[in-house]
Amino acid sequence: MATRFYFDRTNTPAVSPPTPTAEWEHVLNAIGEPAPVRRLNSPIGSSALNNQSALFDNADDLTNKDACGWQFVSLPLAAQTIAAQTVSLQIQVSEDGAANNLFLTWKIYLIDSSGAAVSGGTLLAIRRDATEMSTTVTNRGDSATTTEVVASSGDRIVVEIGLGGTPTSSGGTDGHNGTFRVGENGASGDLPIDDTTTTTTYNPWINFANTLQFYLPGPPRPTIIRQAVQRAAVR
């Protein structure tokens, strides 16, 4: 059975992944600080949906680069081999201007219980969606086959999301600026698989084709983790 995660807008994870480097040429969060926004990647829906701006460039930046704005971190995993599988993503996004020429960009990897990246733990190298963002918040989706990785007990999955592309000059401020709509309590349920939905009452999500096993400490087990595993198991 599949495992589906949602993009929590308000709760922060217990550990912080490394600041994105190498594959991401630009890392600024929504309020202009030199780090991405870190939030929980959870199977439990709780946080309200809202648009979150990612303002990477205060002036024209016409270079081809990928800018990371969000790191979503899962609950702790049980020790397991995470087989190669299809992972799909749907999230509503927009670019600030048509000349921004931006695309949804994402990456998936493992961190250990301290927050350090796991050697050989890259499930999905950075990639861009093929459909340019609209200037209106609109659904965008992508899917890819991951690489098999071995997770130790307490490791966590990190999903990094950002904007990639080569803006062109249009007489305004042209750069890697856009908006993501994140949260988990949408009245309409989960976003459909399309590149057209503009109704803003759907939940964005990322879906692993296989069932992932979460770490469950001995009694008493935290209610949130028990509920997360139960919800993931029915997907």
Give the range of the structural domain holding residue 132, as residue numbers without chain letter: 3-233
Does residue 76 register a pLDDT over 90?
Answer: yes
Whether 158 contacts 72, CB under 8 Å: yes
Predicted confidence at residue 229, as pLDDT, reads 44
Q: Residues 133, 135, 140, 146: what is their CA dihedral angle, to the nearest 10 degrees? A: 40
**R_g over Cα of the chain:** 17
Nearest alpha carbon to residue 93 among 132, 57, 120, 125: 132
Tokens of 95: 């670019």
Over residues 33-60, the pLDDT tens digits come to 445 777 888 776 667 888 888 777 777 8
Predicted pLDDT of residue 171: 76
Structure tokens at 75: 């609950």
Residue 95 φ/ψ, nearest 5 degrees = -110, 150
CATH number, domain of 133, equals 2.60.120
* Residues facing residue 182 across a β-bridge: 50
Using the 8-state DSSP alphabet, how is residue 194 labeled?
S
Q: Assess whether pLDDT exceeds 70 at residue 233.
A: no
- Contact indicator for 88, 138 with CB cutoff of 8 Å: no
Q: Could you give the CA distance from residue 198 to residue 191 in angstroms, rounded to a whole number?
A: 10
Determine the pLDDT at residue 159: 96
pLDDT tens digits along 8-21:
988 889 999 988 87
Could you count the other beta carbons within 10 Å of the beta carbon of residue 15? 17
* Contacts (Cβ under 8 Å, ≥6 apart) of 120: 149, 150
Residue 133: exposed, middle, or buried by beta-carbon count in 10 A (0-12, 13-18, 19+)? buried
Question: Residue 228: enclosing H or E segment and its boundaries?
Answer: helix 223-233
Model-level pTM? 0.88
pLDDT, residue 219, reads 53
User: How do residues 194-227 score in pLDDT, each as one tens digit?
Assistant: 999 999 999 999 999 999 999 876 554 444 444 4
The answer on pLDDT for 106 being more than 90 is yes
Q: How many domains does the chain have?
A: 1
H or E element that contains 50? strand 50-55
Instruction: For 129-184, write each residue's pLDDT tens digit.
Output: 999 999 999 999 999 999 999 999 999 999 999 999 999 998 777 888 899 999 98
